[in-house]
Amino acid sequence: MLVDRQTLNDLGIFNKNEEHSVFHLLNYTTTSYGREQLQHLLAKPMDNIQQIHDRQQVIRHFTKLMSSWPQKITNGTLLLIDKFYHTRIAPIPYPANRLNVAIYRTLNPNSFGAVRYSAKQFIDFLKGIEELHELLEEVNELSIIRNALLALKKILDKPQFQPYLTTKSNPVSELNLGYLMQTYKNDIKAALQAFGVLDAWMSLTIACQKHQFVLPKLIESETPYLQAKQLFHPLLQNPVPYNIGLDKEKNFLFLTGANMAGKSTFIKAVGLAVHLAHLGIGVPAKEMELCYFDGLFSNIQITDNILQGESYFFNEVKRIKDTVERIGDKKKWLVLIDELFKGTNVRDAMRCSIAVIEGFRKVQSSLFLLSTHLYEIEEDIKTYPNILFRYFETHDTDGLLSFSYQLRDGVSNDRIGYLILQREGVIAQLEKL
């Protein structure tokens, strides 16, 4: 599935304030190598259903292994091994013996200490990946696991390293190991990366369990299809779940509601669930079934570009133009549009929005979720049978606003901007000026 940087940002996969990102929610890695691999995994959806199924199998297998996952390898272990390769080390005598070790220690005390310390960390790494290899050996039919295990096994199978798995180290053996670490640098680097991959997948497994994500059902379908029950946005502390269903016959959701009613959160929740499903991991829902989408494209957090002299509205138009070009391939896309044409006046926004909706609703190969304040548009599009009209309701009780965050059939004409100004005391302050 294709997804661009703008869509990843719109869905909150990554965020400058990391604590507010989906990445932070899913990050249970124990090493910097695992963290790096997790970032890579979250940005790259799979190319087909089989790849997604393979990844789901990894999650299922790793769920069974959570309690027995080896803890010997720490982030410090990997960082110190990595640091060894970025430290200037005096040439290490090989093979080492007591005499040349004593000479090396006298002439190169800093290198001697660095080599010994790094060798001890590498021994811990060897013992840790041995445990991990034994744990995962029976599930190595999965390509993701198999490729990582091959990199680990390449180190474990080297006869020069095997004695360090059982015997106690000493200055002579540690200098010999330091020399071997330099000799097999590329293989060791590959093993560190392989451990990072496994660390990232265990992180995703832990996250799915902790946040009660379920593995969705991906179906082969020539037409777009999406069904979800009790779908929620995982970054909310107390999310209200939604049910949603879209298919070829009803492929356009026209969503209205007042500010703060929940439109943006809902659209992001749907997009995020589809993205996670195409990563091959769990989704925040009780049940979810969907087709494989060829692409996910969003129009949510558009900004102006002062340096290039581009207005907010112009960038909205550019993003819509990009959308038109992408869905023109007649493949299955999920398109998310939140508050279309906020950068122009109401009359102009209505005319532009109607033109976009009338164009998009003809594309039966894709699904569209569009939110707007412009409820008046309904009059121009209500005759189209493939458009679903839903809204989030607002309750006003003597000026006190409340939101159910539940989808209702129909269109909302709620306008609460003035009520919010009153509630926050702005109107009273203005009157005193």
Residue 418: pLDDT over 60: yes
- 417 domain-assigned: yes
Count up the domains in the chain and report the number. 2
Q: Which of 210, 226, 245 is the last residue of a domain?
A: 210
Least confident of 109-118, 203-212, 234-243, 389-398: 389-398
Q: Are 185 and 228 found together in one domain? A: no
Query: How do strand 295-299 and strand 333-338 relate by DSSP bridges?
Result: parallel
- CATH classification at residue 54: 1.10.1420
Specify the pLDDT at position 297: 96
pLDDT tens figures, 16-62: 888 899 999 999 999 999 999 999 999 999 999 999 999 999 999 99
- CATH classification at residue 353: 3.40.50.300
Q: Are 180 and 327 found together in one domain? A: no
pLDDT tens figures, 297-333: 999 886 655 434 457 788 888 899 999 999 999 899 9
Lookup: tokens for 261: 């009613």
Q: Are 41 and 169 found together in one domain? A: yes
pLDDT tens figures, 346-387: 888 899 999 999 999 999 999 999 999 888 999 999 999 999
Q: Are 265 and 171 found together in one domain? A: no
Pick from 145, 143, 129, 153: nearest CA to 200:
145
CB 175 within 8 A of CB 181: no
Residue with tokens 């080390």, as numbered in its chain: 89
Specify the pLDDT at position 365: 96
- 18 domain-assigned: no
DSSP conformation letters of 111-175: HHHHHHHHHHHHHHHHHHHHHHHHHHGGGTTSHHHHHHHHHHHHHHT-TTTGGGGTSPP-HHHHH
Q: Which of 210, 239, 273 is the last residue of a domain?
A: 210
pLDDT tens figures, 143-158: 888 999 999 999 999 9
> In percent, how much of the chain has pLDDT > 90?
76
Q: Are 172 and 266 found together in one domain? A: no
**Which range marks the domain in which residue 134 is found?**
31-210
Specify the pLDDT at position 417: 64
Q: Are 63 and 180 found together in one domain? A: yes
Q: Once rounded to an integer, what is the mean pLDDT over residues 261-274?
A: 94
Q: Once rounded to an integer, what is the mean pLDDT over residues 189-199?
A: 97
- 222 domain-assigned: yes
pLDDT, greater one: 406 or 40: 40
- 17 domain-assigned: no
Residue 120: pLDDT over 80: yes
Q: Which of 183, 210, 237 is the last residue of a domain?
A: 210
Q: Are 47 and 169 found together in one domain? A: yes
- 59 domain-assigned: yes
Specify the pLDDT at position 138: 74
Least confident of 85-99, 315-329, 346-360, 398-412: 398-412
- 245 domain-assigned: yes
- 344 domain-assigned: yes
- 276 domain-assigned: yes
Q: Are 152 and 265 found together in one domain? A: no
DSSP conformation letters of 348-411: HHHHHHHHHHHHHTT-TTSEEEEEES-GGGHHHHTT-TTEEEEEEEEEEETTEEEEEEEEEES-
Residue 131: pLDDT over 50: yes
Q: Are 121 and 265 found together in one domain? A: no
Q: Are 420 and 300 found together in one domain? A: yes
pTM for the full model? 0.92
pLDDT band, very low/low/confident/very high, at 115 (cuts 50, 70, 90): very high
